[in-house]
Amino acid sequence: MNAVETNDLGKRYGNAWALRECTLAIPAGHVAALVGPNGAGKSTLLNLVVGLAAPSAGIVTVLDGQPAGSAAALDGVAFVAQDAPLYKNLTASEMLHLTRNLNRNFDEGYAKGRLRELGIPLDRKAGKLSGGQQSQLALSLALARRPQLLVLDEPMAMLDPLARHDFMATVMAAIADHGLSVVLSSHVLTELERVADYLVLISHGNVQVAGVVDDLLARHRVLTGPAVEADSYAERLNLVHAQRGEAQAHMLVRIDARTGPVPPGWETHPVSLEELTLAYLREPDAAWLPGPGRALRLEPTEVAN
Amino acid sequence: MAWVTWRQHRVALAGVVALFGAAAAYLLVTGLPIHDAYAAVAGCRPTGSDLCNKVVNDFLRTYAPGVGVTFGLLQAIPALIGAFAGAPLLAREFETGTFRYAWTQGFGRTRWTVAKLVPLAVAVTIASAAFSLLVSWYVQPIIDAGDNNGPLYPTLFDLSGVALAAWTLAALAIGLFAGILVRRVVPAMFATIASWAALAFVTGAFLRAHYLAPVVTSNTNIPTGAWIINQGWFKGGNPASLDLINQTFAPVDVRALTPDLFQPGPATPANLGDPVQYLIQHGLTHWTTYQPAGRFWTFQWIEGGWLIALSLILIAATVWLVRRRAA
Amino acid sequence: MTIDKPPRPGGSELASAAARRPASPIAFRLDPASGVPTYLQLVQQVEHALRLGYLKPGDQLPKVRDAVASLAINPNTVLKAYRDLETKGLVAGRPGQGTFIRATLSRVALPELAELRRSLLVWLATAGAAGLDEDGIVALVTSALRDLREPRGEREGVA
């Protein structure tokens, strides 16, 4: 099943489209990373997925076809927004109580255990915790709901490197234990490589790249060769982005069935996720969208409940 | 969810209780002396004699102004409740971003909103209804003594009967609606106070006077406690100016300081009688537009009715906006 | 082979997890700067541990959950590595229990090792004479290894 499906999804604020023509199918059981520059539309897409915003065009469904924001979706989807919003004047223990009262499933033992391990005192007001502790508290609350889909918006912005590691370790362990799907947006490309197996690249409100990371990396190469020949091969080799020196050029190319062989005298190298992401971000017109291939129902439904 | 509402809004609820509590204590402390003093007035015999009239007037002159000031101050209560209990409820969620937590929990945003609004509205209505009983007790001696400002007088009317509860509920509804429209706490509070004050002013100054067609009379004896909306001297269908009044008075050397205040002069004949009758005999008519005191409860139900309808509409609009509001 | 994380106040998940279950003889580490895909690093570490004798047939590999909790990597990556090892015949999964070593890597016998070393030294001398420096040699060897690793079928498009 698909954790998230969108069909021609768009969101407009006033006259400006924050997101448009977004068609995605993120399979369940994966960690999907949403990457892109500031203002690209990442938060907009996440808000649409969790039902905080309603589409201006198209539809978005979660967990195998539930309309985003519907009662079933709210039950199965947990969201930690940017800056980990918490009620600052409630203690950690009261936040647990609150979350328990607002949800059908809540594993209070798990939440308390995690907070104890992290050294977060239950009787301290949330506003008095450090930024990292607030993020961890918000994550613990979300995970204790035992969601099927966890959505994180820039979850690690306030965390130091050790805290970032612990945060991700917690999320990954939850996936191993409960088969959770995760969609997270992030700036930090290097960490995504370890964690993400599905990539969505958004730039200027448009989805540039959407696909399984392994496929993505398998289908791209960097070719290194004489700069003078670079232009003549660019078209044939599906050039995404080129870096040139006087004599030498590197071309990041996309391989498909129609691509010709590597020109003689050129070397090939595999590509890292970071390199690939940066290349696409530098070339707004380039795109790689293998397509979801599944027809979606087209009746829009408004936010229920 | 009851725990949720209590834990998150116990300060607001406590504030409402404290506000009414403090006001109630003040009314009790100042009201008991008034009631004691009135006992002497009520027991004065023979009723209607000059002596007893003087006793009544002394009583009113001593206590009525203070009561008037008190009522002026109490006018603020509904607006304060609307601003401090109503406006922040939703506005704070947006200002701090916590709606991104609250509206993505399994409970859902609509039920969450309703489960907060309803208890708050009920608590506020009950508290204000109880308080208005105390207001009625407080002002009873002044009314019984026949003060010119009867129960329909604006600053008294909206604190008594069902009006206080209705105005407080309306203030709360305005606050809630402002909260979700403006989405910032302090601006929403200002918007609440400003809107409520404007509504109260328009109602008191213009709307209330016309709930039922006012009584218009040329009789100069107006029933006790009537709410006088308009009165003045007319000649031949046109308003008579002060100059015209003075011209009419010229032969008997009476000066009109205001249309109600006439000062006899040295040359005024001793058998003049009532200067008011003199003017009437000389072609002027005194028209008074008023609402009789007996219409108090009718007006209370009319005003309470449309205020409650307005409150329900605003609350429904608030919930509708919650359902529709984008992040 | 690996260094445990320093204990943090309140105890770490890893420590408590280890206390509950019999630990695998090895633990994984990650070198994010190596350029080698994560799953491949795990495969290589298992093969290396086998080679050096840290792992013997019957030993259990780290549970997916434990590897994931200590390295903060995607569980699918660990599963992919274990599948890879299974395809190579080195490990076998037991449902509900974990993944266990099945066979050893074929060890190269000492005389063969000595012969390979000798022919390598000859080749290195030739390369040096042709003007290749140390980095050049390493680059050439790495590239050749990569060509060897990728089966011909996958490389059709980029011959």
pLDDT (tens digit per residue) in A69-83: 899 999 999 999 988
- Preceding peptide of B78 cis, ω within 30°: no
Mutate to test the interface with A, among C14, C20, C34, C68 (most CBs of A within 10 A): C68
Tens-of-pLDDT digits for all 159 residues of chain C?
A: 444 444 444 444 444 554 455 578 889 998 877 778 889 999 999 998 888 888 888 889 999 999 999 999 999 999 999 999 999 888 998 888 889 998 777 666 667 778 888 999 999 999 999 998 999 999 888 888 888 877 544 444 443
CA distance B168 to B122: 11
Instruction: Look at residue A34 and tell me whether its pLDDT is greater than 60.
Output: yes
A-chain residues near B95 (CB < 8 A): none
CA distance A170 to A135: 12
Name the pLDDT band for A236 (thresholds 50, 70, 90). Answer: confident
A262–C68 C-beta distance less than 8 A: no
CA distance C95 to A47: 39
Percent of chain A with pLDDT over 70: 95
A52–B326 C-beta distance less than 8 A: yes
The residue of chain B nearest to residue A302, with distances taken between CA atoms, is B324
Subunits next to B (3 or more Cβ pairs <8 Å) are: A
B100–A52 C-beta distance less than 8 A: yes
CA distance C105 to C27: 19
- Measured in angstroms, the CA of A300 and the nearest CA of chain C are apart by 34
A50–B106 C-beta distance less than 8 A: no
**What's the whole-model pTM score?**
0.82
A172–C74 C-beta distance less than 8 A: yes
CA distance A217 to A213: 6
Separation of first and last alpha carbons in chain B: 23
* Mean pLDDT of all residues in B33-49: 83
Distance of CA B158 to the CA centre of its chain: 3
Q: How many CA atoms lie within 13 A of A49 on its CB side?
A: 37
A-chain residues near B102 (CB < 8 A): 102
Query: Are C and B touching by the rule of 3+ CB pairs within 8 Å?
Result: no
Which residue is listed with tokens 């965390």? Answer: A159
pLDDT (tens digit per residue) in B220-238: 888 888 888 888 888 887 8
CA distance B280 to A32: 92
Q: In this predicted complex, what is the ipTM? A: 0.87
Distance of CA C116 to the CA centre of its chain: 22
C65–A272 C-beta distance less than 8 A: no
- Measured in angstroms, the CA of A99 and the nearest CA of chain B are apart by 8
Identify which of B133, B125, B146, B126 has the alpha carbon closest to the alpha carbon of residue B307: B125
Which residue is listed with tokens 């949403």? Answer: A34
B101–A85 C-beta distance less than 8 A: yes
Instruction: Look at residue A295 and tell me whether its pLDDT is greater than 50.
Output: no
CA distance C70 to C67: 5
A221–C158 C-beta distance less than 8 A: yes
B-chain residues near A87 (CB < 8 A): 8, 96, 98, 101
Q: What is the mean pLDDT of chain B?
A: 89
Q: Are C52 and A216 in contact (CB under 8 A)?
A: no
